[in-house]
A = this chain, B = another copy of it.
Amino acid sequence: MNDEYYMKRAIELARKAVGHTSPNPLVGSVIVKNGKIIGEGYHAQFGGKHAEIVAIESATEPVEGATLYCNLEPCCHDIPEKKTPPCAPRLIREKIKRVVIANRDPNHHVNGQGIRMLRNAGIEVKTDVLAAKAALLNETYYKFIQSHQPFVHLKIAQSLDGRIATANGHSHWITNSTARKLVHQWRAEYDAVLVGTKTVLKDNPSLTVRDVPGRNPRRIVLDDQLVIPDQAHLISDELADKTILFTAKPESDARARQLRKRGVQVLQAPADDAGHLDIRVILQKLAEMEIASLLVEGGGEVFTSFVKQRIFDKISIFIAPMIIGAGVESIGSLGISSLSEALRLQKIRIEIIDGQALVQGYRNFTEIFTRNLKEN
């Protein structure tokens, strides 16, 4: 068993807390002594014990002289808002002999200082083991901790000819059940899901996690004129207090006050003359609410706004093998006239999901990862 083997296990453990640690990262840890795993742990929820500490406390024999694997650099800082004591000093006290990590922690309070502290104490530290795999696991964390902006993931389900619905708005279902299950999985992982008000009026979505186990995300609607009807699931089901409406109407608006009585959050944001709410302002507000990751589920006008302003990090397009012809286009005018201006996605991944294509890519992969990630 080599370092990669144990790191893979640490990543596997980290993943168990998907959806529960944000805005903290997913972290798993494994302690190995004499070729045997003697302790394991992961950061189970925001504010909870760090993975390294859980692993140490689960150890079935003394950890002195052992190797500790952890996908993220152990923390070393103690600042007032931090909920847990730093891990690096604990590893030193516990006389861990060797530490193997995948990624440096991009948090500027850590960012190599945890590694330095361990090395200064005589601990051997190996870095960049399965670094690329581990970084992707925490891509939303990477984005948020470095930019204080949520990681924005656009999810589009379309026909071969790029339509997300027929001309009269019919879109149930373009994707198959396997694709929808994957989307539910994403909802369980993302802090919030966002749709435009037209999607609410056409589809009346719940945006909940039903097809897989997992917790429900916050639900956000761009509704500049507050036209959402009383019977919309998003403001009438038992999760209405997880719904945030952004509107151009003043805080004091009568409809806004009505909606707040249901537990719905109604927040004001500026809009342009066409009634498009200012996405940058909205993302700033979401960041202040510690929403570190946002899954944008439609519709076409919303996708177009995000893409036109280049406000997205990742895009996933499910392409169903059907042709609709003129209808609702997935992405409208971006003001592009020459092909050289076309938005080329990075780190493309194409998968076949139950007879449909899933194309995924990043707007700017290096922007998210380069500062911290040696690829391997």
A-side residues, CB < 8 A to B, are 158-163, 165-168, 170-174, 304, 307-308, 315, 317, 319, 321-327, 329-339, 341-345, 348, 350, 352, 355-357, 359, 361
Contact = CB atoms under 8 A, between A and B. Distances in A.
A216 B333 CA distance: 38
A313 to B, nearest CB: 14
Contact of A332 (B325, B334, B359): B325
Given A167-B337, A170-B338, A337-B170, A307 B323 contact: yes
Contacts of A342: 159, 166, 322-324
B345 A334 contact: no
A162 B337 contact: no
A325 to B, nearest CB: 3
B352 A350 contact: yes
29 contacts: A158-B162, A160-B162, A160-B345, A161-B329, A165-B339, A166-B337, A166-B338, A166-B341, A166-B342, A167-B337, A168-B337, A170-B337, A170-B339, A171-B339, A172-B339, A173-B339, A315-B323, A319-B319, A321-B344, A321-B361, A322-B342, A323-B342, A324-B334, A324-B342, A325-B331, A326-B334, A329-B329, A350-B356, A357-B357
A331 B337 contact: no
A308 B325 contact: yes
Contacts of A319: 319, 357, 359
A107 B356 CA distance: 36
Question: Which 6 interchain pairs have the tightest Cβ spacing?
Answer: A162-B162, A325-B334, A326-B333, A323-B343, A161-B331, A321-B348
Nearest to A173: B339
A233 B361 CA distance: 38
A161 B162 contact: yes
B330 A336 contact: no
A162 B327 CA distance: 12
A329 B333 CA distance: 12
A353 B339 CA distance: 20
